[in-house]
Amino acid sequence: MPHDHHDHPHSLLPPEPALRVKALETILTRKGLIDPAALDEIIDTYETKIGPQNGARVVARAWTDPEFKAQLLADATAAVSEMGFYGRQGEHITVVENSPVQHNMVVCTLCSCYPWPLLGIPPGWYKSDAYRSRAVREPRRVLADFGVALPAETAVRVWDSTAEMRYLVLPMRPEGSEGMDEEALVELVTRDSMIGTGLARVPG
């Protein structure tokens, strides 16, 4: 039963989106179905506690600890769980490693699947029609929108997140970072480098 309705219930709510959210929140709160304090807690979690700083710590550790890197590439869910990065929208994690001959890039063409415990809530562009439609067909032109150009010998592998497996790109460690420790390396790991629409920052 495909449930195609021409009288969608949502049209009974105010059309202006901020008012639509407010109206639904008010109705649910009055009936005891949601607790506004729980909403505040959810928002605080994703605004301040869970974000790309988590993924950056994973990458920096993989750059400096070969044993951890091997474990990360073999079973990322277990490896990042040990660092405390497990949870909603990150129950199944795979880490894919960039190299001079292969660049990885992640998209969700059907919706907006994204590794929340490692990167937080996806940015607006990741959820945009332009990124969802183009990343699979013309990844280099999309990279150009981010100011990134790949060498001619580098092939691109695009991962379309069609199931509950969430992908994190392990970017190449940048030149000039040889003497840096894990803490300093964290600062070179950008969110976009872990999605594959960017490269790690070059120090200096």
Partner 1 sequence: MSRVHDMGGRFGHGPVIPDAADAPVFAEDWHARALAVTLAAGGLGQWNLDMSRHARERLSPKDYTRFSYYEKWISALADLLVERGVLTADDLRGVSDDERHELAERALKAAVVPDVLARGGPADREAGPEAIFAVGDAVRTLRPAGNRLVDGGHTRLPGYAAGALGRILRRHGNHVLPDSNAHGMGEAPEPLYAVVFPAAELWTHPEHPGDEVVLDLWQSYLEPA
Which residues are part of the catalytic machinery?
Answer: 108, 111-113
Q: Which of 195, 29, 5, 204 is nearest to 113 (CA)?
A: 195
Q: Which is nearer to partner 1, 34 or 64 (CB)?
A: 34
In the bound state with partner 1, the residue whose beta carbon lies nearer, of 63 and 126, is: 126
Please answer whether residues 190 and 80 qualify as being in contact, where contact means their C-beta atoms are separated by less than 8 angstroms: no
Backbone angles phi, psi at 177, to 5 degrees: -105, 10
Name the residue nearer to partner 1 (CB basis): 18 or 175. 18
The distance of closest approach from Cβ of residue 82 to partner 1 in the complex, given in angstroms and rounded to an integer, is: 14
Whole-angstrom distance, CA of residue 171 vs CA of residue 187: 13
- State in angstroms the smallest separation of the CB of 181 from partner 1: 24
Position 69, amino acid: K
- Residue 58 Cβ vs partner 1, minimum distance, rounded to whole Å: 17
* Nearest approach, Cβ of residue 11 and partner 1 (Å): 8
Question: In this structure, which long-range contacts are made by residues 184-188, counting pairs with CB atoms below 8 Å and at least 24 apart in sequence?
Answer: 185/59, 185/60, 185/63, 185/64, 186/53, 186/56, 186/57, 186/59, 186/60, 187/56, 188/60
| Closer residue to partner 1 (CB): 48 or 66 | 48
